[in-house]
């Protein structure tokens, strides 16, 4: 557990950190109760227990349903108001290049008048980068808890954009493989990447209306004149990433169709080759079959050059067919 106390006017910050959960809760609650009008707190939790979160929830006035969602996670991105506390659920996301996979985590943000509580599940921590950005731009702290909310959203959306670029690069490599001269079936790889993109969409698409609603919900007019421009910038970036992810999904459909078309073409090529060779071998089979019927009265049976003539006929006819099939691209 970590708690940072910010001063809106001076930009000063004080970190409260403790390894023991019970002692950390006591220290954090003590600092929260001692905040003055110019101060606000940011409490950061990672995979908290229900008891640990309930202690803070009672002090911050958090709704029990929101606390339950934060503990158990697995929430769709959403926005809810519980009194004067704004609750936002969102998904963190990162791309693992070695596995060509999109991994996701979850985060709940509770933004009240004088405190922000973030609850994270997953390996990637956007709070560390958000805290660094706030430290490098103390003027943002005049917006109070909304500055923390903006910083977290900004980091998460930037991560979305970065992951979308890496997925685009993976798709470009897959396209090059599909349209190469090698006859390798990439259907499994395409389908796997398509599943990752769908998981990407599940994180990005529901968050778009959530961020847009921040400018029009309770207190929206006030935010329009204060932190509104920053939130609109996040909304624009998120909207652009949403369009990019939708485009990637559509491109994967096209690549999958192209792969299936190529597989069909390969099968047709194989069938033409098989048919061509079957036709070539049919002529010797036919001639040999005719001369193997052993009738007593057949032309050329007693002729000295009958056998060489039959072999020559077989070879000539087969050669002419082979040349015709080669010229037509069947062989």
Is the pTM above the cut of 0.85? no
91 and 208 together in one domain: yes
142 and 22 together in one domain: yes
Q: Name 101's bridge partners.
A: 96
Strands 39-46 and 115-121, by their bridges, are: parallel
Q: What is the CATH number of the domain that holds 225?
A: 3.30.460.20
48 and 27 together in one domain: yes
**Residue partners of 196: CB distance under 8 A and separation at least 6:** 100, 101, 102, 167
102 and 149 together in one domain: yes
145 and 90 together in one domain: yes
200 and 62 together in one domain: yes
99 and 224 together in one domain: yes
Residue-range definition of the domain harbouring residue 290: 263-327
Helices 50-60 and 64-72: angle between axes, nearest 10 degrees: 150
Please report how many Cα atoms fall inside a 13 Å half-sphere around the Cα of residue 227, on the Cβ side: 24
pLDDT tens for each residue of the chain, 331 residues long: 787 888 877 667 766 655 545 555 555 666 666 666 778 888 888 888 777 777 777 777 778 888 888 888 778 899 988 888 889 999 999 988 888 888 899 999 998 888 888 999 988 889 999 999 998 888 888 888 899 999 999 999 999 999 999 999 999 999 998 888 888 888 889 999 999 999 999 999 999 999 988 887 665 544 555 788 899 999 999 999 999 999 999 999 999 999 888 888 788 887 888 888 888 888 788 777 777 776 666 666 667 777 777 788 888 888 888 888 888 877 7
**Which long-range contacts link 186-189 to residues 24+ away (Cβ below 8 Å)?**
186/259, 187/256, 187/259, 187/260, 187/263, 189/100
**Which long-range contacts link 221-229 to residues 24+ away (Cβ below 8 Å)?**
223/146, 226/143, 226/146, 227/143, 227/146, 227/147, 227/150
111 and 249 together in one domain: yes
Would you state the pLDDT for residue 297?
62
Q: Name 85's bridge partners.
A: 82
Would you state the pLDDT for residue 299?
65
- For residues 293 and 272, give the distance between their C-alpha atoms in angstroms, rounded to a whole number: 31
56 and 177 together in one domain: yes
73 and 218 together in one domain: yes
151 and 285 together in one domain: no
Using alpha carbons only, what angle is made at residue 235 by residues 118 and 146, rounded to the nearest 5 degrees?
Answer: 40
Q: How far is CA 80 from the centre of its chain?
A: 26
- Which of 234, 262, 290 is the C-terminal boundary of a domain? 262
- The number of domains in the chain is 2
Would you state the pLDDT for residue 222?
47
Would you state the pLDDT for residue 310?
78
Would you state the pLDDT for residue 72?
80
Would you state the pLDDT for residue 202?
92
Would you state the pLDDT for residue 238?
95
254 and 298 together in one domain: no
């Amino acid at each position: 557990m970590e708690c940072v106390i910010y001063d809106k006017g001076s930009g000063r910050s004080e970190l409260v950190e403790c390894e023991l959960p019970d002692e950390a809760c006591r220290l954090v609650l003590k600092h929260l109760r001692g905040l003055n009008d110019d101060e606000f707190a940011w409490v950061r939790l990672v995979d908290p227990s229900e008891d640990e979160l309930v202690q803070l929830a009672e002090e911050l006035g958090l709704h029990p349903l929101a606390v339950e969602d934060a503990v158990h996670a697995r929430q769709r991105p959403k926005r809810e108001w519980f009194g004067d506390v704004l609750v936002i659920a969102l998904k963190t996301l990162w791309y693992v290049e070695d596995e060509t996979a999109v991994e996701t985590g979850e985060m709940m943000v509770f933004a009240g008048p004088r405190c922000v509580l973030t609850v994270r599940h997953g390996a990637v921590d956007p709070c560390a980068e958000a805290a660094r950005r706030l430290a490098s731009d103390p003027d943002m702290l005049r917006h109070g808890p909304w500055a923390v909310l903006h910083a977290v959203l900004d980091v998460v959306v930037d991560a979305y954009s970065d992951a979308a670029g890496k997925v685009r690069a993976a798709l470009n490599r897959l396209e090059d493989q599909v349209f190469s001269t090698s006859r390798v079936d990439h259907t499994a790889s395409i389908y796997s990447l398509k599943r990752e993109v769908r998981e990407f969409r599940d994180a990005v698409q529901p968050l778009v209306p959530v961020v847009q609603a921040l400018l029009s919900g309770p207190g929206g007019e006030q935010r329009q004149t204060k932190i509104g421009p920053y939130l609109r910038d996040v909304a624009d970036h998120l909207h652009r990433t949403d369009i990019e992810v939708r485009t990637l999904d559509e491109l994967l459909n096209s690549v999958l169709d192209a792969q299936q078309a190529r597989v069909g073409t390969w099968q047709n090529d194989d069938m033409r080759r098989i048919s061509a060779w079957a036709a070539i071998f049919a002529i010797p089979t036919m001639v040999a079959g005719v001369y193997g019927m052993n009738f007593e009265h057949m032309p050329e049976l007693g002729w000295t050059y009958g056998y060489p003539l039959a072999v020559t006929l077989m070879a000539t006819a087969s050669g002419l067919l082979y040349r015709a099939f080669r010229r037509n691209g069947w062989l």
